[in-house]
Amino acid sequence: MDLTISIKGLRIKAKKLDNDFYDFIKADLEKSGIDFNRDNPTEALFTAYLRLAAKIHNYDKEIEGIIKEIEI
């Protein structure tokens, strides 16, 4: 599936996303305030990026903790 957003008048399109990934990204962008039916401020995209970066950071910490537990 294709996903298109508009940021400060610039339309950005991601083509041929896997359906599950499309659903995940669309839901996460919506949680960050991205509206797919109108133009969005740059801050909304930055907020979306920070949300995903925080998730990745937390997952990395969890994985490191699991690895340390396994090694003991």
CA separation for the pair 42, 10 (Å, rounded): 10
Structural domains counted in the chain: 1
- The percent of residues in the chain predicted with pLDDT above 70, rounded, is 100
**Exposed, middle or buried: residue 7 (CB in 10 Å: 0-12, 13-18, 19+)?**
middle
Mean pLDDT across the stretch 14-32? 94
pLDDT band at 72, cuts 50/70/90?
A: confident
Which pLDDT tens digit goes with each residue over 24-37? 999 999 998 999 99
